[in-house]
Amino acid sequence: MVFSSLFFLFVFFIANVLTQALVHDLKKKNIVMLCFSLVFYAWGGVRYVPLLLGMTAICWFFGLRIQNAQASNRGSGKGSLIACIVLQLIILGIFKYTGFFLRNVQLIAGVPKEIPNIVLPIGISFYTFQLMSYVVDVYRGDTDAQPKYWLLLLYASLFHQCIAGPIVRYRDVENDILCRRVKMAEVSRGITRFAVGLAKKAILANGCAGVADAMIAGLPSGQTSVLGAWLGAIAFMLQIYLDFSAYSDMAIGMGLMTGFHYKENFNYPYMADSITDFWRRWHISLSTFFRDYVYIPLGGNRCAKSRHIFNMFVVWGLTGMWHGASWNYILWGLYYFVFLILEKYLVPVDRIPKLLRRALTLVIVLFGWVLFKFEDMSMLGTALKAMFGLNGNRFHTISSGLTFQNYWFFLIIAVVGCTPLMSRLGNLLRNVSRNNKIALTAYGVADVLVPLILVVLSAMALAGNSYNPFLYFQF
């Protein structure tokens, strides 16, 4: 089940919101939310529910052991922390990296003859990191261990963000789980945020996907022109931001409607003026996870230059591996490692004009997404060659020209959707409405009609579109 499916929108989600509104006892609210979350997760594969239950049980058990050890002065609980993290990483590794490891061994040694086909449980990368952050925070004393297993399971399985983020830390939602209250002002904001995310996904991201896939389809045969290859790369660049940020918008919006508060996961990353700035804006919950639980424990930047470079190498290698069990993801992570080191030690970024910095950042990010897109290295090479006319492909074809003519206006709207322009216009109207009755009326009408129009348009788009995956479900 995905957020942008008609069944979710008009059955599952409405049923969840209604039951949360009708049930007044907080314990019963949590039980109902847990039931909805487990049903949502089971929709993608019932056989993986025991895995979620088991990984949560491991962290619940060791979290209590760590806290009891510290409370009774029987040690710091470090052994329990290490055991828990190792178990979690082994389970994640078995499901996510076994095939990748065996394929590389087979390539070198010729064995094994057959590689088992292990299906990746949906959302495992997200809830594994969430559960590990919980145990580490208990060890550090940043949060108390949750004595009730089912409440920790609720945290791990919350359907708003369990499948594709944002990565939520237990300490950030503990108060919401234990004593949340729904406020009508937040419900209104949540509805708007959800509607905006839905439109970004159903209309913009899916539309960009159609352009990107059309251009990529012609790469093997050399039918995609140079301009077509660039058009496809740009469309994918727009798609992946609109797709992933849409999921985060919808998760944040649904949280607000039911009393949960999730932190922002994106801050208009394509407005960045450096690669460092880009990663402060992109997938913020993942970046801060690696910063707080890997980079800083390794020593961060408060160490010798060589050690700092090593720390960065580890973090970005792991960032790439987290995204997928394929060499292109690892290379993608190390690709950013190189540019971040260049910005830190070799390139005086501040001396470059800001407009030029933004343009260079976008070009670097664009080629990063090309690397991210293709797990098949031969296809990656084909795509890169096509972008520079090295496949014998023409600079321009009728097909790529027609695609551009048909979609240029749509792509402009998609570009606007990647900027804070509409948000700033909304804020401007709200500020003007404070001292102007006409503007106040216009703002009130827009506040009601815009989300409704976006939902209707999105439902229409979804009804006629069979292509509707979220890209980050595969991670």
Q: Do 175 and 103 fall within a single domain?
A: yes
Q: Do 404 and 443 fall within a single domain?
A: yes
What average pLDDT does the segment 75-87 reach? Answer: 93
Distance between CA atoms of residues 83 and 62, nearest Å = 8
Q: Do 207 and 262 fall within a single domain?
A: yes
The pLDDT of residue 473: 54
CB contact set of 247 (below 8 Å; sequence gap of 6+): 3, 164, 165, 197, 201, 470, 472
Range of the domain at 125: 6-180
The pLDDT of residue 469: 57
> pLDDT digits over 10-57, tens only?
999 999 999 999 999 999 999 999 999 999 999 988 999 999 999 999
Q: Do 103 and 133 fall within a single domain?
A: yes
What average pLDDT does the segment 415-420 reach? Answer: 95
The pLDDT of residue 465: 66
Does residue 335 fall inside a structural domain? no
Distance between CA atoms of residues 392 and 13, nearest Å = 51
The pLDDT of residue 463: 84
Q: Do 80 and 228 fall within a single domain?
A: no
The pLDDT of residue 472: 55
Q: Which two tokens stand for residue 7?
A: 């069944």
Distance between CA atoms of residues 199 and 204, nearest Å = 7
The pLDDT of residue 468: 56
Does residue 346 fall inside a structural domain? no
> pLDDT digits over 179-236, tens only?
999 999 999 999 999 999 999 999 999 999 999 999 998 888 888 899 999 999 999 9
Domain boundary among 148, 180, 212: 180
Total domains, the chain: 2
Domain boundary among 149, 180, 211: 180
Does residue 99 fall inside a structural domain? yes
- Active-site amino acid positions: 323
Contact between 159 and 42 (Cβ < 8 Å): no
> pLDDT digits over 266-307, tens only?
999 999 999 999 999 999 999 999 999 999 999 999 899 999
Q: Do 252 and 395 fall within a single domain?
A: yes
Q: Which among 474, 459, 293 is positioned nearest to 372, based on CA atoms?
A: 474
Q: Do 35 and 142 fall within a single domain?
A: yes
Contact between 389 and 395 (Cβ < 8 Å): yes
Distance between CA atoms of residues 79 and 263, nearest Å = 31
> pLDDT digits over 89-125, tens only?
999 999 999 999 999 998 898 888 888 888 889 899 9
Q: Do 147 and 194 fall within a single domain?
A: no
Confidence check: pLDDT of 162 > 60: yes
Q: CA torsion sign, 173 to 179 to 182 to 186?
A: negative
Residue type, 97: Y
Confidence check: pLDDT of 471 > 70: no
Place of tokens 């394509």: 270
Domain boundary among 180, 202, 233: 180
The pLDDT of residue 403: 87
**Which of 77-81, 150-154, 469-473 comes out lowest in average pLDDT?**
469-473
Q: Do 195 and 157 fall within a single domain?
A: no
Distances from the Cα of 52 to the Cα of 57, 123, 152, angstroms: 9, 10, 11
Q: Do 36 and 67 fall within a single domain?
A: yes
- Phi, psi of 385, rounded to the nearest 5 degrees: -65, -40
Does residue 173 fall inside a structural domain? yes
Q: Do 171 and 195 fall within a single domain?
A: no
The pLDDT of residue 439: 79
Distance between CA atoms of residues 194 and 202, nearest Å = 12
Does residue 332 fall inside a structural domain? no
Is pLDDT larger for residue 401 or for residue 61? 61
Residue type, 365: V
Does residue 413 fall inside a structural domain? yes
Q: Do 238 and 386 fall within a single domain?
A: yes
What average pLDDT does the segment 402-411 reach? Answer: 90
Is pLDDT larger for residue 448 or for residue 313? 313
> pLDDT digits over 302-358, tens only?
899 999 999 999 999 999 999 999 999 999 999 999 999 999 999 888 899 999 999
Confidence of residue 470 (pLDDT cuts 50, 70, 90): low
Does residue 31 fall inside a structural domain? yes
Confidence check: pLDDT of 430 > 90: no
3-class SS string, the chain: CCCCCHHHHHHHHHHHHHHHHHCCCHHHHHHHHHHHHHHHHHHCCHHHHHHHHHHHHHHHHHHHHHHHHHHCCCCCCHHHHHHHHHHHHHHHHHHHHHHHHHHHHHHHHCCCCCCCCCCCCCCHHHHHHHHHHHHHHHHHCCCCCCCCHHHHHHHHHCCCCCCCCCCCCHHHHHHHHHHCCCCHHHHHHHHHHHHHHHHHHHHHHHHHHHHHHHHHHCCCCCCCCHHHHHHHHHHHHHHHHHHHHHHHHHHHHHHHHHCCCCCCCCCCHHHCCCHHHHHHHCCHHHHHHHHHHHHHHHCCCCCCHHHHHHHHHHHHHHHHHHHCCCHHHHHHHHHHHHHHHHHHHHCCHHHCCHHHHHHHHHHHHHHHHHHHHCCCHHHHHHHHHHHCCCCCCCCCCHHHHHHHHHHHHHHHHHHHHCCCHHHHHHHHHHHHHCCCHHHHHHHHHHHHHHHHHHHHHHHHHHHCCCCCCCHHHHC
CB contact set of 60 (below 8 Å; sequence gap of 6+): 146, 149, 152, 153
Distance between CA atoms of residues 136 and 292, nearest Å = 10
Distance between CA atoms of residues 261 and 163, nearest Å = 17
Does residue 336 fall inside a structural domain? no
The pLDDT of residue 180: 92
> pLDDT digits over 432-441, tens only?
888 888 878 8
Q: Which among 202, 206, 237, 231 is positioned nearest to 217, based on CA atoms?
A: 231
The pLDDT of residue 383: 94
